[in-house]
Structure 1
Amino acid sequence: MSSDAKPVLTGGCQCGAVRFALSAVPMKISICHCRMCQKASGAPFASFADIPHEHFAWTRGKPAAYRSSSIAMRDFCAACGTPLSFRRIGGPRIEIMTGAFDRPDRVIPTLQYGTESRLGWVGTIVNLPSKTTLQNYGPEKLGEIVSHQHPDHD
């Protein structure tokens, strides 16, 4: 990403030690249900925004990396542990975890991979009873919580 390019999307880790910016819209946005992505994200699936390296930059700090297979690296914040990306070693693109974006509502998945490992209940979660955070904690308890999370902007 050139230094004069205006960011299209930004994001970073939970503590703010690592931040990134994209100068173009992602090529694709996907969900991966494979077992490796489940373990790497600590979640039932991972969601990624795929962007060529030339349209991506780490803008604050540098992530730590883990070689999760013979073909891939996964970047994460060494300070807070937030998973940040998946990238093929020597590949032309980086795939950024959609939850790490400041505006994850702007990166909407359009395809799925690794469906052989998709958990059976994933498709039915929309039908589960739900509460907002305020409903769950109540106004008094929610008012006592102090967040140490970096805001969703620089």
Structure 2
Amino acid sequence: MSALPLTGGCQCGAVRYAVADPGQDAYLCHCRMCQKAMGNLFSAMIAISPKDVTWTRGRPATFRSSDAGQRGFCAACGTPLCYIGDHGHMAITIGSLDHPERHKPKSQDGIQSRMPWFAELTSVRDDGETGGGPDVDWVVAIRRSNRQHPDHDTDQWPPETSKTEARP
């Protein structure tokens, strides 16, 4: 765990939050519902108490994914932000934190849907930061036009910039 509070938000900056007490350890869930909700192979979450969350900019939109709870996400950019259970349970997505590297998962569940090759991911070829090859110019163009909110709170977002100005 890290120093308190935890802060984070969505990709576009429309929704930001602070968590006063991160509560439990980080975990992964491989269940099919989490895979769909995250658009990924698993969800990476930290269980928290809803009373410890302050939405500092905007609020998440929600989708009721089951009779037990709903998924919170940014309505503007679609970033998955949280799971809100009906019985006082809540979890924040690790990927939406300003410092996700500080939260190593301690457990995993939903393993019935875990990809059979999950344990082999560290052996997948590493093409570096840009991947090399003919798409390097494409990667550079993305970096120059990046509209992703920085990993810290800002007074205003997006900043007033021209299309050609490099962003953080």
Q: Common fold, TM-score beyond 0.5? A: yes
Whole-angstrom CA distance in 2 between matches of 1:148 and 1:101: 17
Out of 66, 69, 74, the residue aligned to residue 71 of structure 2 is 74
The answer on whether the counterparts of 2:22 and 2:47 sit within 8 Å (CA) in structure 1 is no
Per-residue displacement from partner, 1:15-64 (whole Å, max 9, x unpaired)?
Answer: 00000111123312110000000000010100101111222211110110
Amino acid at match of 1:126: T
Q: Which residue of 2 aligns with 1:113?
A: 109
Whole-angstrom CA distance in 1 between matches of 2:131 and 2:30: 30
- Consecutive unaligned residues of structure 2, counting only runs of 5 or more, are 154-168
The answer to whether residue 29 in structure 2 is matched with residue 8 in structure 1 is no
Amino acid at match of 2:19: L
The answer on whether the counterparts of 1:7 and 1:21 sit within 8 Å (CA) in structure 2 is no
Q: Which residue of 2 aligns with 1:35?
A: 32
Out of 80, 95, 98, the residue aligned to residue 94 of structure 2 is 98
Q: How far off its partner does 1:108 sit?
A: 1.3
TM-score (norm 1): 0.88
Change (3 A) 1:141 1:116: closer
TM-score (norm 2): 0.81
> Secondary structure of 1:38's partner?
helix
**What is the RMSD computed on CA atoms of the aligned residues?**
1.7
Amino acid at match of 2:102: R
The answer on whether the counterparts of 1:23 and 1:55 sit within 8 Å (CA) in structure 2 is yes
Whole-angstrom CA distance in 2 between matches of 1:53 and 1:21: 11
Q: Which residue of 1 aligns with 2:125?
A: 129
Q: How far off its partner does 1:135 sit?
A: 4.3
Fraction of identical pairs, as percent: 41
